[in-house]
Chains A and B, each alone.
Chain A
Amino acid sequence: MMIFSGRWQDTSISKKKDNSQDFKDKIYFIIGKGGTGKTTIAASLGISLAKRGKKVLLVSLDPAHNLGDVLEKKLSDKAEKILENLEGIEVDIDEARDTYLKNTMNKMKDYYNYLQIFNLDNLLDIFTEAPGIEEYVIMELIWKYLKMDKYDYFIFDTAPTGITLKVLTLPYINLQWIKKLIKLRENILDKRSSIENIKGPSYINLNNEKVKLSAEKDHDPVLKELNRYYTRIKWIYDIFINENITEAIIISNNNRLSALESERALTKLKKIKMSVSKMIINKIKYRENEKYNYTYNNYIKKLRDDYNNIEWINLPDIKVSQLKEEHLQILGDRLINKGLYNKGGNNE
């Protein structure tokens, strides 16, 4: 393998600065098993923050939207005003995916027009079903929203845990790939340019058209695209792992299944260094006539022991199907004022 020695240890990538520093907003990801109450909690946080004068964007990334139902307001994939300072979006993932793929295909047409048999429109169908595209599109959407300047808070009511965790790990995985590819590409260009210095430029025959093989880092479209993409992904990644900006809030119910799912989420988020600020145990059933008297499920108990550095909040089962705006605000206020419901503690 001796021929591959040398410039592999290039460090130019790690020198690039952390560009999340100029991002002043705050981001909450509400994560949890379906039906645990993610949307209600997202909405209540949003309302509470908006009433405090913060500009809030509430985004539902869940394909089975019910943010609009909770807020009793029809929402779409454009930001709609819900209250003063509060706007909401229900993302249309299918539509976003089609737009994303069409943009890429159009870009491709410019470069591959010499390939007449390469019917790009047919390819679109194939890519639509490609694994991983959905997470990608969600990440692009998150990026797009975070770039909107007019908000102070972004609250993402997320899709089912599996997809969400994939989306949140995507920047990390992408960065690893891009770093490797950039190194390789630079290595190729270095070598090409040393050959060019001696023998002159080399060409390749693209459908009877002579195309010069790029050898300069400044003019290579592949390296340019890699660098451009690196900058974008690094920006998201830095924001995601900055605990002053991004907080994940995990919602669980007091039962085994949602405890197990929360544990998976906690492990994965730890791996990608995203900070989890609150663990909310929602819909706790209190014993009859005894306020604050309840028993944690054994799985929840174990989880609490393992993750006691997180703020744990217990919320009662209030047996109301539709909370009014003022109730949501009270709930949100309590969550922000560090869980008044916690008083009872774990009374076993």
Chain B
Amino acid sequence: MNKWKDILTEFMKTEATEYVEIEVREIEHIFALLLIGSFTGMPAPPAGLVLKLLPYLGPELLIMEKRAVNDDDLFGQMAGHFDI
């Protein structure tokens, strides 16, 4: 019985946070993109500012990298999330 309860709780938790998770992920990407956007030709922040932040950005860059490796079909994924 407890096992079922756990599964249900887990399910509810996932349901509750699903959209926020997508949102936070997207903002994380925007944040990283703003900082290292010069790779894609976007206007970059002043070099000194990036240098100041770079030491603390390990996890953020990893998130970005994973995203780049794992995602083949961004639009399909988005459509899936929003039941389109």
Interface of A toward B, CB cutoff 8 Å:
3-4, 101, 104, 107-108, 110-112, 114, 127, 130-133, 136, 139-140, 170, 173-174, 177-178, 180-181, 184-185, 187-188, 191-192, 194-195, 198-199, 204, 206, 211, 213, 221-222, 225-226, 229
Contact = CB atoms under 8 A, between A and B. Distances in A.
Given A104-B51, A226-B53, A177 B45 contact: yes
A269 B22 CA distance: 44
Contacts of A211: 58-59
Interface string B43-62: 00111110111111111101
15 contacts: A3-B22, A104-B52, A132-B48, A173-B46, A181-B34, A184-B30, A185-B31, A194-B20, A198-B13, A198-B16, A199-B13, A204-B59, A213-B59, A222-B56, A222-B57
Nearest to B18: A195
A213 B66 CA distance: 15
Interface residues of B, number: 34
- Does more than half of chain B's interface fall in helix, strand or loop, or is it mixed? helix
Nearest to B59: A204
Given A104-B54, A225-B53, A191 B45 contact: no
A133 to B, nearest CB: 6
A4 B62 contact: no
B46 A174 contact: yes
Given A173-B46, A177-B49, A225-B53, 17 more contacts: A4-B27, A104-B51, A108-B55, A110-B55, A111-B55, A111-B58, A112-B55, A112-B58, A132-B48, A174-B46, A174-B48, A178-B49, A181-B31, A194-B20, A204-B59, A206-B59, A222-B53
